Amino acid sequence: MRALLQRVSEAKVTVDSEITGQIGPGLLVLICAMQGDTEAEAEAEVLAQKISRLRIFKDEAGKMNRSVSDTEGAVLVVSQFTLGADSKSGTRPSFSNAAPSGEGERLYHCFCEKMRATGRPVETGRFGADMKVSLVNDGPVTLWLDTDDLSRKGK
């Protein structure tokens, strides 16, 4: 699984002018299940735990030393198959690295449940919909996580 995290002071996602998810301070997580995620439910657990504990929020001294859990922040999770893009050749990316739609949706919902299990409030987009995401990136702080990298490094 791949995730792009953005520390936000606020974020929301709309589908057909309807707000499907909205948060104040916390994290916007764009998530993509990848082709060949062999232990995807375990990977969703690892990723959710890592995200909830990442120390990317400022402490009293202004240092990035607090997690979204420490700050009691919320999480907005939005599915984004384009994170699986392969743009190595040509000018039109291939998205065949992303998991097929049915599997991707199952794993998206699995990740959302694992994220909720960390105790953070979780809002979501709508899988497969044409979504409009707006955010105020705080910092800006943006990080890329891939479970392939996490499993090699011992999480």
**Domain spanning 2-150: CATH superfamily:** D-tyrosyl-tRNA(Tyr) deacylase (3.50.80.10)
What residues of the chain score a pLDDT lower than 70? Answer: 38-40, 151-155
Q: What pLDDT does residue 41 have?
A: 76
Could you tell me which of 15, 138, 131 has the C-alpha nearest to residue 73?
138
Q: Which SS3 state, helix, strand or coil, does residue 61 take?
A: coil
| Cβ atoms of 51 and 3 closer than 8 Å | yes
Give CA angle at 117 (116, 118), nearest 5°.
90
Work out the burial of residue 108: count CB atoms within 10 Å of its CB; fewer than 13 is exposed, 13-18 middle, 19 or more buried. buried
Residues 76, 56: Cα–Cα separation, whole Å: 16
- Cβ atoms < 10 Å from Cβ of 120: 21
Q: What pLDDT does residue 155 have?
A: 45
Q: What pLDDT does residue 32 have?
A: 92
Q: What pLDDT does residue 38 have?
A: 62
Give the residue numbers annotated as catalytic, written as ranges. Answer: 80-82
